[in-house]
Amino acid sequence: MTAKSYSLLAATIFTIVALVQLSRAALLGFQIIVGSHSIPIWGSWIAVVVAGVLAWLGFSAARA
């Protein structure tokens, strides 16, 4: 696997993660419970930003 294809694959996965988190935060609002802890909705907004930046970096690296 070349560095270009690896960057494209990682960017695609981060894009999917960002879209899933965005759908949780903005549209669906379903609860995520880990053990006895509930993950707040604002955590998804942070995940959208982080995954979006990582996806952008991956697509930028794949283009170079």
Per the CB < 8 A criterion, the answer to whether 55 and 9 are in contact is no
pLDDT in the model for residue 30:
80
The predicted structure's pLDDT at residue 29? 79
Q: What string of DSSP letters covers the chain?
A: --HHHHHHHHHHHHHHHHHHHHIIIIII---EEETTEEEPHHHHHHHHHHHHHHHHHHHHHHH-
User: What domain range includes position 56?
Assistant: 3-63
- What is the model's pLDDT at position 59? 96
Query: Splitting the chain (64 residues) into consecutive groups of 10 residues, what average pLDDT does each group show?
Result: 94 97 88 88 93 97 90
Q: Does residue 35 come out as left (phi exceeding 0), alpha (psi in the -120 to 50 range) or beta?
A: left
> What pLDDT does residue 32 have?
83
Structural domains counted in the chain: 1
